[in-house]
A and B are shown apart, each in its own frame.
Chain A
Amino acid sequence: MARPTYFRSSRRNVLFALGLALPILGALPRIERTASAAERVTLAVFVHKDSSLQNLKMSELRRIFTNADDSGFSGQRSVPFNHTARSSDRVGFDRLVLRMSPEEVSRFWIDRKIRGLPGPPRAVDSLSQLLRLVSHTSGGVGYARPHQVTNEVRVIRIDGRLPAEAGYPLQFNE
């Protein structure tokens, strides 16, 4: 039995639309890659000038910025200072270091506070203030783009690498 004409034509339309859409969808990631490759962001982690800290593993950095206390017997605790929530560097840092999206970060801190644990690191909304806080706090740890870092603080290695070295882990596409 022959199918109605409108059915055949609508099927053709769907196939046509799919045929049109698939190459576009397939091309999207390439377009995104091309665009983002030009905006590769590197984040340098810096500490108080007199800090003995020279290198941090990513796992250690993650623990510092989740307020885990690894001070051991010394009691010398790292004091992280963060960027404001949802600023691009903060989002990139959280994705790389904490392996969390902004929503996951919010969930993480809400759950932690309900458990009665201390809240998130202090977020600072000005770069000069961030640098000043780290430079005045023994144990202070912050991050910024390398060209934003001043001689008030000292950049440290992450996983044994400095920001300009190949394989430096704190890089993301903005």
Chain B
Amino acid sequence: MRTSSFAFCAWLLTHASVSLAAEPPPGAPPTLEPGVDMGSPSAPVAPKDAPSGTAAPTSANVDAEAEAKFAAAPEPATDSFATEEGGSDSDTQRKLDLYGFADFTYQRLLIDKDNLWNRTYPSVNSFAVGNFNLYLSSNLGDSWRALAEVRFMYLPNGATKPDAAGNVVRTDTTVLDYTGFEEPIRWGGIRIERIYVEHEFNGLFKLQVGQFLTPYGIWNVDHGSPTIIGIKKPFVVSNQLFPEQQVGLQLYGSYFVDPLEIGYHLTLSNGRGPVEYQDFDDDKAYGGRLYVKTEALGSLTIGGSFYRGGYYDRSAKYVVKNGGSTVDQEFTTISKYQELSLGADVKWEYKSWLVQGEAIMNEVNFNEGGRPRHTVLKPPTGFQADYRRWGAYGLVGYRLPFAPLMPYVIVQHAYSPDSPSTPPATAYEVGVNYRPTAAVVVKLEYTDWHFSAPGSAGFGNYPLRILASQVAWAF
């Protein structure tokens, strides 16, 4: 009785698990577990179209020999990226692929103690875990794919913001942990970097809906600290002349005409705004990118991007109307503008050389009544003027032939009239990017900033030299 119950339960569980497993889409290849032999193939014979000189198997043990050869292959590398090779579109099993990256940074300012930057530059002389990004990817079958990337952060704990009186107010997230003896702990935040579902109609049309990284240039899409060469984003990228992410639709595709790949991205989104999931004025932003890539001489990609959209921020207040019978909301515009961003990029990998660069421009025109007040600490205060900010960077790196080491040089320039305290700046960076294994990158970087004006807060009067080191890893 007991045995039969056990057997029944086992049968039930087996069948339940089968029914829970995702059905492969029609026309999909059989899903086979690696290492499971489906039985010997039919007696091997020379392929019909094989050349006459191709030796046809002459005995049945050829297959066994071949299998033995496969089995004798050395174990693959132990990193999840190298061995987890079932995540392609060819694999139709609906499984969740978890991976990500993280980094640890230490930076030091090589300046005098009385230098202003010692007190204003973030995370000075400190160890810091900067990024801890987790990817969740799944092939949903039938040309559907989903990807989510979230970043776990210590923030908002420790984030600072000046108040109207000039006091720097620090956010403190300390709470008492009820699971223990109410010892103080600090909570952090989660930032959604991107989350979308994608359907591939064909090679020319793939549609993403959700939140995606804005497809412009190189750095914004390379994105992860193990992938990018330097430690810090160039200022022109971190200053978001294009929005870093957008919520909406992205259509993209490419076509290969040997030796050229021509690709495009088109986006329609809420655009830049104070809230990711709300477009206050229903003014959709649109943008795109066009690139040409060839592998005729190394790997050369040349691209151009644009973005046009509006920004609208407002405050709201409940008011009583119609003699007290209705409660309504009244809005006051905080800021409203139209913007245009243009970008050009080039990336060339030739043998051990890497050359890449981006030039980006962003122009903002405020609407009438949408001009905000300057948030400056010292007079003259006033309303924000229309502005055009721009910047560029160039990177040259060379991966040494005898070690996985890439010395690199970056030169960048940024002009940001929207922020009067940020003077026009040029930086010269030298560094090394050492990749002892494919999944681990160690970087050392020295940056020397030069300012061509003092800026409204006088930052430009002080030299800024930064020595930074970072360990970044993919998992």
Query: Contact mask A69-104 → B, CB, 8 Å, 1/0?
Result: 111111101011111111110100000000000110
A136 proximity list for chain B (CB < 8 A): 29-30
Given that A62-B295, A132-B38 are known contacts, is A140 also in contact with B29, CB under 8 Å in the complex?
yes
Q: Is the interface of B mostly helix, strand, loop or mixed?
A: loop
Q: Mark B163-179, 1 if CB is under 8 A from A, else 0.
A: 00000000000000000
Question: In the assembled complex, which residues on chain B have CB atoms less than 8 Å from the CB atom of A86?
Answer: 73-77
Please determine whether A132 and B70 come into contact, CB atoms closer than 8 angstroms.
no
Q: A75-B201, A75-B203, A146-B50 are in contact. Are A121 and B85 (CB under 8 A)?
A: yes
Q: Of B57, B88, B202, B474, which one neighbours A75 at CB under 8 angstroms?
A: B202
- Stretch from A8-16, A24-32, A108-116 forming part of the interface with B: A108-116
Task: Contacts A153-B47, A155-B50 given; indicate if A115 touches B221 (C-beta within 8 A).
Answer: yes
Q: Which of A59, A82, A102, A124 contacts B259 (CB 8 A)?
A: A59
| The residue from A111, A114, A146 contacting B54, defined by CB atoms under 8 A apart | A146
* B211-252 Cβ-contact flags toward A at 8 Å (1 or 0): 001000000011110110000000000000000000000000
Flag if A110 contacts B29 (CB, 8 Å).
no
**Smallest CB gap from B101: residue in A:** A114
Find A126's partner among B70, B203, B438 (CB 8 Å cutoff). B70
Q: Which residues of B25-65 have CB atoms within 8 Å of chain A's CB atoms? A: 27, 29-30, 32, 34-42, 44-57, 62-63
Q: Are B256 and A73 in contact (CB-based, < 8 A)?
A: no
Is the beta-carbon distance between A116 and B45 smaller than 8 angstroms?
A: no
List B contacts of A131 (CB < 8 A). 41
Which residues on A sit within 8 Å (CB–CB) of B75? 86
B254 within 8 A of A: yes
> A116–B378 Cα gap in the complex (Å)?
44
| A88 → B minimal CB distance (Å) | 7
- Judged by a CB distance under 8 angstroms, whether B281 is at the interface is no
| Structural contact, A106 and B82, CB atoms closer than 8 A | yes
- Are B36's CB and A129's CB within 8 A? yes
User: Which stretch (B89-97, B107-115, B302-310, B331-339) binds chain A?
Assistant: B89-97
CB distance from B136 to the nearest CB of A (A): 11
Contact across chains for A73 and B204 when beta carbons are under 8 A apart: yes
Is B315 part of the binding interface, using a Cβ–Cβ cutoff of 8 Å?
Answer: no
Q: How large is the interface on A (under 10, 10 to 19, 20 to 34, 35 or more residues)?
A: 35 or more
**Interface residue? A164 (CB, 8 A):** yes
Check A87/B73 contact, CB under 8 A, given A113-B81, A116-B147, A120-B87. yes
Closest residue on chain A to residue B253 by CB atoms: A69
Known: A110-B226, A147-B56. A79 touches B29 (CB 8 A): yes
Residue of B nearest to A46 (CB): B47
Does the CB pair B203–A69 fall under 8 Å?
A: yes
Would A137 and B227 count as touching, CB distance under 8 A?
A: no
Task: Select A148's contact among B62, B86, B254, beta carbons within 8 Å.
Answer: B62
Given A121-B85, A146-B54, A162-B50, do A128 and B67 touch, yes or no (CB 8 Å)?
Answer: yes
A144 to B261, CA, bound (A): 28
B84 at interface by CB-CB < 8 Å:
yes
Q: Which residues of A contact B38 (CB under 8 A)?
A: 128-129, 132
A39 lies within 8 A of chain B by Cβ: no
Whether A127 is near chain B, meaning CB under 8 Å from some CB there, is yes
Distance in Å from the Cβ of B151 to the closest Cβ of chain A? 13
Residues of B within 8 A of A118 (CB): 87-89, 139, 145
Closest B residue, CB atoms, query A102 = B77
Question: Chain A nearest CB: distance from B400 CB in Å?
Answer: 13
- In the A-B complex, the 6 residue pairs with the smallest Cβ-Cβ separation, listed nearest first, are A164-B53, A75-B202, A106-B438, A87-B73, A119-B87, A114-B224
> Can you name 8 A-B pairs with beta carbons within 8 Å?
A68-B261, A119-B87, A128-B41, A132-B32, A149-B54, A150-B41, A150-B42, A163-B51
B residues with a Cβ closer than 8 A to A are: 27, 29-30, 32, 34-42, 44-57, 62-63, 66-67, 69-71, 73-77, 79, 81-91, 97, 99, 101, 135, 137, 139, 145, 147, 149, 194, 200-204, 213, 221-224, 226-227, 253-256, 258-259, 261, 295, 404, 435, 437-439, 474
Known pairs A72-B256, A140-B29, A148-B57 / 12 extra A-B pairs, C-beta < 8 Å: A59-B295, A60-B256, A69-B254, A72-B203, A111-B227, A116-B149, A118-B139, A124-B32, A137-B90, A147-B54, A151-B46, A162-B50
